[in-house]
């Protein structure tokens, strides 16, 4: 039985982001080391989708300073493939 808390890793963003069957995407807790060596803790949070001009829901994911945009429907297809 699937629940709202059935989160799985997003391919290519393991350890950074997770999503569930309802399309909720959340970032994970992490510690970031700044350019001067200072450590900063970031608490994970639920992320928001945005709408582009073609009625597609989009979300921007970041890893190692590189931004990647994913579509909601592609994340849902990926989630079903993982199961």
DSSP letters of the chain? ---TT--EEPTT-TTTEEE-TT--EEEPPEEEE-TTS-EEEE---B---EE-TTS-EEEEEEETTEEEEEEHHHHHHHHHHH-
Please indicate, yes or no, if residue 13 is contained in any of the structural domains.
yes
Please indicate, yes or no, if residue 2 is contained in any of the structural domains.
no
Tens of pLDDT, residues 67-79: 999 999 888 888 8
Please indicate, yes or no, if residue 66 is contained in any of the structural domains.
yes
CB burial string 63-80: b at 16+ within 10 A, e below: eeeeeeebebeebeeebe
Q: 27 lies in which domain range?
A: 8-82
pTM, whole model, 2 decimals?
A: 0.80
Mean pLDDT of the chain: 88
């Amino acid at each position: 039985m699937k629940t709202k808390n059935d989160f799985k890793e997003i391919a290519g963003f393991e350890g950074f982001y997770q999503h569930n069957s309802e399309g909720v995407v959340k970032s994970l807790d992490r510690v970031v080391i700044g350019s001067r060596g200072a450590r900063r803790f970031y608490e994970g949070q639920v992320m928001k989708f945005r709408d582009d001009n073609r009625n597609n829901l989009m979300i921007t994911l970041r890893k190692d300073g590189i931004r990647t945009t994913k579509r909601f429907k592609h994340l849902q297809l990926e989630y079903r493939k993982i199961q």
